[in-house]
Amino acid sequence: MRNIVRVIDNISEYTGMVVRWACLALVLVLCLEVSARYVFNAPTMWSFETASMLGGTIAVLGWSYTHKHGGHVRVDVFYTHLSPRGKAILDVTLSLLFFFPLLFSLTYIAWDRMWFSWSMGEVMARSNWYPITGPIRTVVVLGLFLFALQGVAQFLRDLYRLTRNQQL
């Protein structure tokens, strides 16, 4: 079980390292657009969709990395006062009740939309560039899958703490 959790954690870490380059790409695209628009009075057609796709990529691929490092928002009114075992009980319960069902539903919907986009050749129509939406919808499915994997790793950690009363 340790090896499985370690592999999943490494995947999330690697994904986080890749996503930081997408952040740099987003900054470069936006700087290029601002320069082209305000310095050369020649705005680009492609920058808005590119920035949207890069921002979406950063968000969805960052979910697993953020989850691994405990960076998601949590209501800590009661949680901080619980023992490690109490936290594990709460995390296991809420994962089974909310996290996994919600993630399953989101992944199902995202998969359906991705499949539709690729099969119909759907395009983004917010500018005259019209890029295809299949790649970004595929990234959303990949991000949800990686998030689910990291959720499984965290669930295994919590379950281990619950059953063995020690950290995995």
pLDDT per residue over 100-118, tens digit each?
999 999 999 999 999 999 9
pLDDT reported for residue 167 = 77
pLDDT over 90 at 39, yes or no: yes
pLDDT over 90 at 124, yes or no: no
- Nearest-angstrom CA–CA distance, 136 and 51: 12
pLDDT over 80 at 163, yes or no: yes
Q: How many residues does the chain have?
A: 168
91 versus 76: the higher-pLDDT residue is 91
Banded pLDDT at 24 (limits 50, 70, 90)? very high
Q: In 144-162, which positions are buried (b, 16+ CB within 10 angstroms) versus exposed (e)?
A: bebbbbbbbbbbbbbbbbb
Q: Where are the domains of the chain?
A: 2-164
Strands (E), 22-125: none
- Nearest-angstrom CA–CA distance, 152 and 8: 9
